[in-house]
Each structure stands twice: as C-alpha cells, then as structure tokens.
Amino acid sequence: MLNETWIINQLKAHFPHTIGDDAAVIPASGNQSYIISKDLLVEDVHFRRTYCSPANLAYKALQVNLSDIAAMGGKAQFVLCGIAIPMEQAQYAQDFLATLVTACKDAGVILIGGDTTRSTDKLFISISVIGSSNTDNIKYRSTAKVDDAVCVVGALGHAHLGLIACEQSLPDLLDYKNAFLRPKAKSDEGFWLAEKTCIHSMMDISDGLFIDLKRLCLASQVAAHIELNDLQPSAVFKNGCDHLQLNAINVMLTGGEDYGLLCTVDNAQYAQLAEDFKQKFGYSLQRIGNIISGTDIHFTEHAVPTHLVLTPFSHFGEAP
C-alpha cells in the first residue's frame, strides 16, 4: 500500500535524524540554522485551472511553503521555483510567474533559482522556501509533552468549505473560496510563537487537524484529548456547512489546506501566552484540548467521551 505516511516512514528508517517535520533544518552561521521546505502542487490534484487563476495559484504556491517555514519558527528568506508547463498553457504559466515575482517581493523573499521545463498535459509546480532561525527557537513536531495545551492558530475547515464551493461552482461562500484559493501563511505568528520556550511543539495544519495532530502525537509518542465543544464553529461557518450538507465539526477536523498552525503549550503558561497572543495579533490562540499519555486522538463533547468516524484527507485516497 502506498501512502504519504508509509513513504515518510520508509525514508525515515534510513535517515532517522532528518526526515519528518514540515521542513528540513541545516546549519547556517553561528547559532543560526536554515529551514528548507519543498511542496508540490499538481494540476487537477491540488488545483484546477478552471477556477484557480494563475495569480491565485502563484500566491498559494508561495504561501503553502511559507507556512512550512512558519511551522518551524523560521523567517523566510529565499525561494526556488520549479515549473513544468504544457505547451498550450504558456499564457497561464507566464501570468503565474509574473505574480510569483510580485508575491515574493511582497513577502520579502528573494527568488534565487529553479527550473522550467515542458510537461505533456498537466501543470506541475515545485516550490522550495529557505528560511532562517536561531537554532534554539526551531520547533519540531516530536517534542510535545504530556499535559501540554493543544492549540490552533487560524480558522479550521474554511478552506475545505471553499474547495467544495469551487468544485460545485457555487456563486456564494466567497470568504471560504478565498480561504481555499488564497490561504495566508501564519508567518508572523509562527515566528513569534517560536521565540517562546513554553511552546513545546509546532507544525502547520495542511492536511486537516485530525490527521496532523495524529502525526504530531505519533512523532512525540503521546496522545491527545480534544474537547469538541472548544472547536466553536461560528454561526456563519455552520450555515455554510449546512448549505453544503456537511457536518461542521467533521469539516473542522478533517478539512485540509487551511495552513493554520498547531502547537502544544506548557499548560501552566497557556493563559499568559494566550493573552499576549490576543494583544499582539488581535485574535485568539485557541485551546482545543490537552496532550495525554497513550496513543491516538480521544474526543469528548461537553466532557463526555464520544466516538467520531472521520475520513482524513489523503493525497492517495486511502487512509493514512
């Protein structure tokens, strides 16, 4: 069976000290390290040209990589762009590259190289972003501790609602479409959180909270307890889900491509951190549960244990 987790575990067996986080870390000068991401975007897997403009695609391609750097606590500096272009998509590719240039400048990152080549039918994009950080500040997913508060930065499930709206060509749900088509990496938040020693672990939420938290727990050899009541979907979001006949809580737990942050925080220091975060960024560092010993993710609803049947997002259409 082929799936992303299986592949990563196979590779990790051979290179145990380097594989498994959102981005790779290599030494830079003094107490600094470089953090390097690589994300692929494949036409008709991650986007469709029918509803994703070249400008949106370029913006998103950069942001998903910036999100990987933010998840480790780095500040993005450099970008490499590889693009494979079908002959008949020349104009789309040109517009993509023009926006990528602007998006790089807006994000304060320098395009330093890449590769352009032909593709037979689909557009294929491979971006790498190189960020840097004080080595001591870099956050990993393998260092969560029992009793940590499990927190999320950013909305959950919005991108998934947008994806469904785009796929079904619905005229409304514009904010959610925007969350899917133009996600904004939590770059400032990631860098700020990484400076705090009370943040024990961090990663981005790219494949959905449920599967990403599962990965964090596996890497840290811990379990998590999530209180569903703390997910607090807004009335507008619930209406959107109802409109599409979706369960809001399920969408929040399994919807991919939100590019928020998932972190675990020293329990004793959560309250002060949340206050500082709110003051700094104007919105909440949302606590949704706790790290506990054991394995897997355990849910309660108003403190009553509940069993959810969730189908996590997988690029291979199989259970990860």
Binding-site member from 9, 106, 108, 121 for a copy of itself (CB under 8 A): 121
Residue 281 corresponds to which tokens in the numbers above?
Answer: 């960024």
Task: Tell me the per-residue interface mask from 90 to 109 with a copy of itself, x by CB under 8 A, - otherwise.
Answer: x--xx--xx--x--xx----
Q: In this structure, are residues 125 and 57 in contact, taking their beta carbons and an 8 Å threshold?
A: yes
Dihedral angle sign, alpha carbons of residues 130, 131, 133, 137 = negative
Q: In this structure, are residues 203 and 258 in contact, taking their beta carbons and an 8 Å threshold?
A: no
How many C-beta atoms surround the C-beta of residue 48 within 10 A? 12
Binding-site member from 66, 76, 103, 130 for a copy of itself (CB under 8 A): 130
What is the DSSP-derived secondary structure letter of residue 267? G
36 binds a copy of itself (CB under 8 A): yes
Helices (DSSP H) in 170-310: which residue ranges? 174-181, 187-194, 209-220, 235-243, 248-254, 270-281
The one segment of 20-28, 55-63, 169-177, 253-261 that binds a copy of itself by CB under 8 A:
20-28
Task: Tell me the per-residue interface mask from 237 to 276 with a copy of itself, x by CB under 8 A, - otherwise.
Answer: ----------------------------------------
The one segment of 15-23, 220-228, 263-271, 283-291 that binds a copy of itself by CB under 8 A:
15-23
CB of 221 to a copy of itself, least distance (A): 21
Helix, strand, coil in percent for the chain, rounding step 5: 40, 25, 35
By beta-carbon proximity to a copy of itself, the closer residue of 50 and 293 is 50
18 binds a copy of itself (CB under 8 A): yes
Task: Tell me the per-residue interface mask from 51 to 80 with a copy of itself, x by CB under 8 A, - otherwise.
Answer: --------------------------xx-x
Instruction: Kindly state the number of chain residues that form the binding site for a copy of itself, as judged by CB under 8 A.
Output: 68
By beta-carbon proximity to a copy of itself, the closer residue of 205 and 226 is 205
Q: In this structure, are residues 100 and 58 in contact, taking their beta carbons and an 8 Å threshold?
A: yes
CB of 68 to a copy of itself, least distance (A): 9
Task: Measure Cα distances from 159 to 156, 170, 255 in Å.
Answer: 8, 14, 7
By beta-carbon proximity to a copy of itself, the closer residue of 167 and 242 is 167
Binding-site member from 10, 234, 272, 284 for a copy of itself (CB under 8 A): 10
H or E stretch at 150: strand 149-153
